């Protein structure tokens, strides 16, 4: 594979755009071959069938199970010379058969070193042995008797061994790099090693490894699948790595144990691939992993670097070398992983419901904490309610917060502020929602307030320009602050994270409040929160649920421009700034990882599955970048607000600090390298 380093990523040609390798991804596989106990020749061929399959699917690295070339359940046969000799012959067979492949692979077999037997992971590339990793912690409890046959890695005297005519590194302190795979630094360990309190892989990660591969046998018992998944996810999260895991499958002896052939691949705490279990003829999982995101996270998480400085070591490193790539580039023009088009919103309905509950609780308890910090007679909330989604969500949180504190809902003031662009539908919904919730309704028409302002500054109110919009937004906020002062309460801001990112708010208008309850929640998630609240929180209040569903069916609009002749909303936010689902996707990748436009666009093209053309993605990504950089001054002085998700916050006191006069030129220059179609 040529030309996929960082220079190509930044200044790549249009014809390379679809190739996922040029965006920092690499393809890995977990293989679980069928096995016959004590039959290395059969096992080598079973390995090769699966390895050939994943190679043809474009894998750059493949992991096979513990002792897979002979079988894990050989018992005292491990001491038999024919088994050890045939296992070496099986390794040679695999090495010879894969010598022309651009595929790194790790297989398991028993090896005698210094007159002691070790349970080993052997990593090969193009027919050469690169490294041998002995098992560090052979278990000897319950069903495991490994110390009967195998020595722990610490017992080894040698740091090298002869294997297939080569002298190769031997030990748990070896990393494998491949210059043709940017970001790929491999460390292997064996089964129990991952289950220990301080796994060798953790030390390796703190020493530079980005891919941890665990060759496992791991018999199956009830509940073990869930434990393995938690273990693999946890390792990938705390170590900021790709954690791979491959357990032995069908064919191992069932005299006392059973086997399910469980393969897993996790990245930064997320399980991204899993094999089918209990198959009779072998199985594999292939997925594109993202080492670049790991490196971005490691740079950001200062505590990870501090821990690495304390516990990381200088490990031996083996360079795999570079070979020509004979596989067609078309293999890599399609992602082999799911990219979530709504990263702020879980795709699993059960997870999404649980997440909505947690977010609602975060927001309501945060607001409750603000209220109890005030004198009792000042515990009132003023919310400007427009009939749109953001103000609806803020009102729901306000009502639930006072419920938590035992404060009457009447101390929540829902204020409707109709103006030139207010539709009858949104006005009716705002009124109905406030009443149905038992809050106090107030209504003030802003038209008599803004017309004298237009006269004072000499602005023709028939001209619907930025001044026409901003004066209305300022008037609304001025009135809300005035009511808050009058009622001895706080004005609750309604603006969301997406609007902060795009600067789609009037500075000093809807941009300001005493507390910004929605500022940590993007627009795509606001919608789900309202739908969830209708079903989960306010199910027993049918009128509330009815209004909430109609709010969700109403076009998103600031309602600052006049209605069309039929009285319908003419000003639609997404027609002005673009689809919020795209902008939220851009924001997540930009804020969470610092990815550039080229990579974000390629991810969006795959993630949205053709709903947007590349030209559309490119167009709206330009809008996002230009607006994001131009509107930092608004984010520099936002009210307090709770951070809600790991995707980040735009508070200058929290996740994001940026000069308001920073240039967007470098980002736009990279954007220009994205093909037009």
**Cα distance between residue 630 and residue 404, in whole Å:** 40
Measured over the CA atoms of residue 539, residue 544, residue 547 and residue 551, the dihedral's sign is negative
Catalytic residue among 191, 267, 393, 523: 191
Catalytic residue among 31, 64, 70, 135: 135
**Cα distance between residue 190 and residue 196, in whole Å:** 11
Tokens of 668: 């736009």
The length of the chain in residues reads: 677
Which helix H or strand E contains 213, and what residues bound it?
strand 211-215
Tokens of 114: 């210094």
Q: Evaluate whether 200 touches 193 at the Cβ level (below 8 Å).
A: yes
- State the pairing for strand pair 263-267/242-246: antiparallel
Buried b (16+ CB within 10 A) or exposed e, 317-327: ebebeebebeb
Q: Which string of DSSP letters, residue by residue, matches 233-251?
A: HHHHHHHTSEEEEE---BT
**Cα distance between residue 539 and residue 358, in whole Å:** 18
Which spans in 98-199 are helix H? 192-195
**Cα distance between residue 517 and residue 398, in whole Å:** 9
Measured over the CA atoms of residue 195, residue 199, residue 201 and residue 206, the dihedral's sign is positive
Q: What are phi and psi of 96, to 5 degrees?
A: -65, -40
578: left (phi over 0), alpha (psi -120 to 50) or beta: left
Residue 243, Cβ density class (10 Å: 0-12 exposed, 13-18 middle, ≥19 buried): buried
> DSSP state, 63?
E
> DSSP state, 562?
P
Which helix H or strand E contains 104, and what residues bound it?
strand 104-113
124 SS3 class: strand
474: left (phi over 0), alpha (psi -120 to 50) or beta: alpha
Catalytic residue among 31, 34, 66, 393: 66
66 a catalytic residue: yes
Q: Evaluate whether 430 touches 504 at the Cβ level (below 8 Å).
A: no
142: left (phi over 0), alpha (psi -120 to 50) or beta: left
270 a catalytic residue: no
191 a catalytic residue: yes
Q: Which string of DSSP letters, residue by residue, matches 428-476?
A: HHHHHHHHHHT-EEEE--SHHHHHHHHHHHT--TTS-SHHHHHHHHHHH
- The residue among 42, 134, 49, 46 whose CA lies nearest residue 87 is 42
Tokens of 7: 């220079």
120 SS3 class: strand
Question: Which residues are known to be catalytic?
Answer: 66, 135, 191
């Amino acid at each position: 594979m040529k030309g996929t380093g960082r220079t190509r990523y930044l200044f790549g040609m249009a014809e390379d755009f679809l190739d996922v390798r040029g965006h920092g991804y690499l393809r890995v596989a977990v293989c679980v071959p069928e096995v016959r106990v004590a039959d290395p020749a059969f096992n080598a061929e079973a390995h090769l069938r699966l390895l050939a399959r994943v190679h043809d699917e474009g894998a750059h690295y493949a992991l096979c199970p513990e002792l897979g070339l002979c079988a894990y359940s050989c018992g005292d046969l491990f001491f038999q010379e024919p088994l050890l000799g045939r296992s070496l012959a099986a390794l040679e067979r695999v090495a010879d058969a894969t010598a022309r492949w651009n595929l790194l692979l790790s297989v398991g077999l028993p090896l005698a070193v210094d007159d002691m037997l070790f349970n080993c992971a052997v990593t090969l590339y193009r027919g050469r042995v690169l490294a041998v990793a002995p098992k560090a912690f052979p278990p000897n409890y319950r069903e495991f008797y490994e110390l009967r046959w195998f020595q722990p890695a610490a017992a080894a005297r040698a740091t090298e061994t002869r294997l297939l005519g080569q002298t190769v590194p031997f030990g748990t302190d070896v990393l494998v790099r491949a210059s043709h795979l940017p970001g790929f630094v491999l460390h292997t360990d064996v089964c129990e090693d991952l289950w220990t309190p301080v796994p060798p892989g953790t030390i390796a990660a703190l020493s530079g490894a980005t891919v941890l591969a665990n060759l496992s046998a791991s018999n199956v018992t009830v509940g073990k699948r869930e434990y393995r998944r938690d273990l693999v996810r946890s390792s990938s999260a705390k170590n900021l790595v790709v954690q791979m895991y491959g357990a032995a499958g069908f064919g191992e002896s069932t005299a006392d144990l059973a086997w399910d052939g469980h393969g897993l691949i996790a990245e930064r705490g997320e399980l991204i691939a899993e094999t089918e279990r209990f198959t009779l003829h072998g199985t594999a999982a292939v997925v594109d992993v993202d080492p670049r995101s790991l490196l971005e996270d490691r740079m950001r998480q200062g505590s990870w670097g501090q821990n690495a400085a304390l516990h990381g070591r200088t490990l031996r490193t083996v360079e795999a070398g570079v070979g020509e790539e004979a596989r067609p580039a078309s293999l890599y023009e399609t992602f082999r992983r799911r990219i979530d088009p709504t990263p702020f919103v879980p795709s699993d309905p059960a997870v999404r419901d649980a997440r909505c509950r947690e977010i609602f609780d975060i927001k309501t308890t945060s607001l409750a904490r603000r209220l109890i910090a005030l004198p009792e007679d000042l515990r009132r909330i003023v919310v400007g309610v427009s009939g749109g989604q953001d103000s609806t969500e803020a009102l729901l949180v306000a009502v639930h917060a006072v419920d938590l504190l035992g404060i009457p809902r009447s101390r929540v003031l829902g204020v409707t502020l109709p103006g030139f662009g207010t539709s009858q539908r949104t006005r009716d919904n705002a009124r109905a929602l406030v009443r149905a919730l038992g809050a106090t309704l107030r209504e003030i028409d802003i038209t008599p307030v803004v017309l004298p302002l237009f006269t004072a500054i000499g602005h023709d109110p028939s001209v619907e320009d930025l001044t026409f919009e901003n004066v209305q937004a300022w008037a609304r906020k001025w009135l809300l602050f005035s009511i808050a002062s009058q009622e001895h309460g706080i004005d609750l801001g309604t603006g969301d994270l997406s609007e902060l990112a795009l600067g789609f708010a009037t500075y000093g208008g809807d941009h300001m409040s005493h507390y910004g309850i929605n500022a940590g929640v993007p627009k795509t998630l606001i919608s789900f929160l309202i739908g969830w609240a209708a079903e989960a929180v306010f199910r027993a209040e049918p009128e509330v649920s009815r209004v909430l569903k109609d709010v969700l069916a109403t076009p998103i609009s600031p309602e600052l421009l006049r209605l069309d002749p039929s009285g319908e909303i003419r000003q639609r936010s997404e027609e002005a700034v673009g689809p919020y689902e795209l902008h939220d996707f851009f924001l997540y990748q930009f804020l969470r990882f610092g990815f550039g436009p080229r990579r974000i666009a390629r991810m969006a093209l795959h993630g949205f599955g053709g709903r947007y053309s590349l030209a559309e993605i490119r167009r709206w990504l330009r809008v996002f970048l230009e607006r994001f950089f131009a509107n930092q001054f608004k984010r520099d002085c936002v009210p307090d607000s709770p951070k809600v998700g790991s995707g980040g916050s735009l508070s200058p006191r929290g996740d994001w600090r940026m000069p308001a006069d920073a240039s967007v030129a470098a980002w736009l220059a990279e954007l220009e390298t994205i093909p037009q179609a």
